[in-house]
Chains A and B, each alone.
Chain A
Amino acid sequence: MKSRNTLNATDRLIKKIFSILFRLLLTLLSIFIIQSQDNSFPYWIYYLVIIIYLAIFFYFFLKDSWFQSLCRLVNDYALITFVLYQKDLFLIPNYVLVVLPVVNAPNHSGRKSSLLYPILIVVIGFLSGWEINWDLIIPIMILGLINVFRHYRSQVLDAKNDLVNLIEQFFTSEYEFRKFHNVYDLILDHIKSIKYMKNMFSIDVLVCFLVKNNRLLLLNSSKFIRYFEIDKEQELIEELEARGTCDDFSIKLMENSFHDNLFVMSKDEEMTLVFSIILHDDSTSPIGRSLLRYFFKPISHHLFKIIKHHTKIRSSLAKQQSRIRKQQQYVLKSMNAMHYVRNKLTPIKTYLNLDEIEKAVIETNDEIIKSTFYNKKENALKQSKNQLDNIVQRADFILEKSDNPFIIQNTSQHKINTLFSLIRFNWMSFFDDQNFKMDFQETFPDVHVYYNAEVIEIVLADVMSNMNKYGTEPELTILELDTDITFFFKNRISTNKVKDITYFKRIAKSYNSDESWEINKRTTHGLTLIKSYLNQMSIHSEIVLENSYFIFKMRFAKHFHV
């Protein structure tokens, strides 16, 4: 609503400026006529009238009501009538003065357009002595017709702009992409509210198709459609590729066939969409079709941009979900592996129990039992060795790199500014202030750092989430040196009975110690993954405690482009 009001205000301002310019022109032309032709009254009367005219104009200038704009129009013609009284209307400057308000009609800021022509006819009638002179009237009629066309054109433009604004408002307010089809209802309702459009065509359904592998796939529509059929689908796509729009293909939506349709294609290198406007009956006139085409081409382009943007978001979400699924599968495999291990441990446990059982065997004093027992003992040893091998093999399988989602497959180069923008973007999700201290060298514009974009976001989110949970006064310092750039994530530690300063010192010591990292990583409270990721990307990291501040450092090596 705000942008619509802004546009209307801008439009009003422009019209006001044109209004002043028009009156200035009117005044200058009047002065020219007065000075260059014979007059019925003394000069001073004409100039007095001009002053009165301007005074009246400025009095009504800032007001926008119908009555006030009518007063401005009557004021204009009062001046024109007075200046041209008893003058030859066929002189060019005089004729121009008479029709000037007609030429200016598109800039009318009020509803006075409908009264312009009656007033003009009265003025011409009066100035020409009430004689009908077609040489005067016909050009004015033509000008009037031109204004009518211009008026309708601007109405269509306004309707289109209004609709674009409505669509933008729809997508900037809170909505779910699954309810995207509601925007079509918005479009249809808006079109129905425009009288002249309603009379020219009636839209039944709006459908959006995605073109994939030279086939049309239904994406969404204003009405639910279970299935559809288009005769000569390939020809339709080819025609749309060539011309952008076409309207002589039939479409069947479920049981109903529609012959009166307009198809509009919107595309770029990555995506092609076809919007189908299905009309209610077969009686849309050629003018109606042209209007529809003119109206819908920019609308479909607008919708295309929005759909493409959302497709990218969904694709990014899908990648994240895929990563989560891999991790879930890995956890499941690990759980299954533990279950497997449990099953395989029985022979080992049996072997370990044999001493105890042997005591019971000896007490029986039964030779058969004894000899059977010692055979079983040998077999138990063999079994336990076999199962131990099986368990180790399964552990290897779980830790195998290619299957482990916590192993980073690749890194890529990025500009330092890209990294900084990413950090700043993530920072805004956690903190209200951007307390950044920066020491950048600007002399190396082609400097890059290496990281995996997806993983670095996980690391940043983790680090900032911990900062938010365990501290206050968050601060980011960036220091760029000749060979590297370091980011210091700093905040004041919030201590309590459970997590006192000793706790954080222990965390820092565990994290920083590479020599005992393999031991400490069992108890590092989620930092395990962060350190593992950063190490894999060759990003040095460290935790520093300074007074009561907790500082997480990440150092990226700089790479220069030659």
Chain B
Amino acid sequence: MTKRIAIFENEFDLLKDAFDLANLVYFSNQLEFSIFETSQDFGDIQNVKNFDKVLIDIDLSAKSDKDGYSIMRDINQVDNHPELVILTGHSNIEKKLNELGLRIPAILKKPLNVSEIVHFLR
């Protein structure tokens, strides 16, 4: 069964091979990735319910209206939203999330590793 994964990331080119390999080898290409470089590219946040998982990079493109924290906050307002996973290079992300009063979701720390991606997408 196809799983739809929304990925908020402005440098997906660097991660593409890792995600594609994970999808190819471990999910038999059953994963469908939708990439959004900016928050406004996604459109109505209620559409997040159409996805099975959402991966959010905290530092998005400078053109993005919202950063990863704000997108998280918006998604948390949606009833029955899918599971969130943060993609980040920040070492102290948990502290920052606490300061912002955000629940701490699963965190995928960069640089990414194929086996980690597989673990979080399963």
Contact = CB atoms under 8 A, between A and B. Distances in A.
Interface of A: 339, 342-350, 353, 356-357, 360-361, 364, 369, 372-373, 376, 379-380, 383, 387
Given A343-B11, A387-B14, A357 B21 contact: yes
Given A343-B11, A343-B110, A360 B25 contact: yes
User: What 7 A-B pairs have minimum CB-CB distances, sorted nearest first?
Assistant: A345-B111, A342-B89, A346-B111, A350-B18, A349-B111, A346-B112, A380-B17
A1 B75 CA distance: 70
B112 A349 contact: yes
Interface string B2-15: 00000000010011
B20 A339 contact: no
Most buried by A among B17, B20, B26: B17
Contact of B114 (A350, A364, A369, A372): A350
Contacts of A348: 111
Given A342-B111, A376-B21, 11 more contacts: A339-B89, A342-B89, A343-B89, A350-B112, A357-B21, A357-B114, A361-B25, A364-B25, A369-B24, A373-B24, A387-B14
B103 interface: no
Contacts of B14: 343-344, 346-347, 383, 387
Contacts of A353: 113-115
13 contacts: A339-B59, A339-B89, A343-B110, A343-B111, A344-B111, A347-B18, A350-B18, A350-B21, A350-B114, A360-B26, A373-B21, A376-B20, A376-B24
A349 B115 CA distance: 11
Interface residues of B, number: 20
A349 B24 contact: no
Nearest to A345: B111
B63 interface: no
Contacts of A360: 25-26
B90 interface: yes
A356 B113 CA distance: 11
A339 B90 contact: yes
Contact of B110 (A342, A364, A373, A383): A342
Contacts of B110: 342-343, 345-346
A357 B111 contact: no
Contacts of B17: 347, 350, 376, 379-380, 383
Nearest to A386: B14
Interface in B68-112: 89-90, 110-112
Contact of B25 (A342, A346, A373, A379): A373
Contacts of B21: 350, 357, 373, 376, 380
Contacts of A339: 59, 89-90
B6 to A, nearest CB: 19
Interface in B27-49: 28
Contacts of A376: 17, 20-21, 24
A369 B27 CA distance: 11
A59 to B, nearest CB: 85
A349 B113 CA distance: 6
Contacts of B26: 360
Nearest to A372: B24
Contacts of A364: 25
B63 to A, nearest CB: 17
A387 B110 CA distance: 14
B64 to A, nearest CB: 16
A342 B88 CA distance: 9
Contacts of A350: 17-18, 21, 112-114
B12 to A, nearest CB: 10
B28 to A, nearest CB: 8
A244 B118 CA distance: 83
A372 B28 CA distance: 12
B25 A357 contact: yes
Contacts of B89: 339, 342-343
B90 to A, nearest CB: 7
Contacts of A369: 24-25, 28
Contacts of B24: 369, 372-373, 376
Q: Which of B11, B26, B114 has the most CB of A within 10 A?
A: B114
Nearest to B110: A342
A485 B13 CA distance: 61
Contacts of A345: 110-111
A387 B26 CA distance: 26
A379 B18 CA distance: 11
A364 B21 CA distance: 13
Contacts of B59: 339
Contacts of A387: 14
A339 B58 CA distance: 12
A376 B114 CA distance: 13
B108 to A, nearest CB: 10
A343 B110 CA distance: 6
A372 B23 CA distance: 11
A346 B18 contact: yes
A361 B28 CA distance: 11
A300 B18 CA distance: 75
Contacts of B15: 346
Contacts of A373: 21, 24-25
Most A-side CB within 10 Å, residue of B15, B90, B110: B110
A387 B14 CA distance: 9
Nearest to B25: A360
Nearest to B11: A343
A387 B112 CA distance: 14
Contacts of B114: 350, 353, 356-357
A350 to B, nearest CB: 4
